[in-house]
Amino acid sequence: MIFIFITMSIGCNGNNPIIPGIDPNPIVNPDNSTVSKIEVTTSSSTINVNQSQQLVVRGYNSDDEWVIIDKSKIKLWDWSVIGQCYDCVVDFVNLSPQSGSLTTTFTSGVTGTFYVVAYYQENAGDEYITDYTEIQSS
């Protein structure tokens, strides 16, 4: 029974386990449900080469209360690298999905310091609300 649960949690390809206990949205919204900032988090800021890491975005209001955000308003997940040529590593880095999701999975086939950023836009024409986190791949 435990083996079946572990197999289902890991999935068919075994590369993208779901982090237990992470719910990107609260169950209910506070009275002030307007998103004023987002936060990108991960369970670990370090990974090994060819290891995947799941990232999660959460929204907060001006009172720093956790609010429900619409995944369709995550317009882009993106990444950058420091200390290395972007064009030299782009073929070895994967970020999926790249929009429309409160979670994304980052994988790097090379060592380096990477920044993964989420872009949230409440309404068309609004400024993007962004946040990023650093991941070390070794």
Structure tokens at 17: 């386990």
Q: If you search the block for the tokens 């619409």, which residue do you land on?
A: 70
Burial class for 63, CB neighbours closer than 10 Å (0-12, 13-18, 19+)? exposed
pLDDT score recorded for residue 24: 82
pLDDT tens, residue by residue, 58-104? 999 999 999 999 999 999 999 999 999 999 999 999 999 999 999 99
CA nearest neighbour of 138 among 51, 53, 49: 49
- Residue pair 57/95 in contact (Cβ under 8 Å)? The answer is no
pTM of the model: 0.82
Q: What is the mean pLDDT of residues 105-125?
A: 97
> How many angstroms separate the Cα of 70 from the Cα of each of 37, 46, 74, 88, 94?
14, 28, 8, 35, 24
- CATH 3.20.20.60 matches 24-137: no
Domain boundaries along the sequence of the chain: 24-137
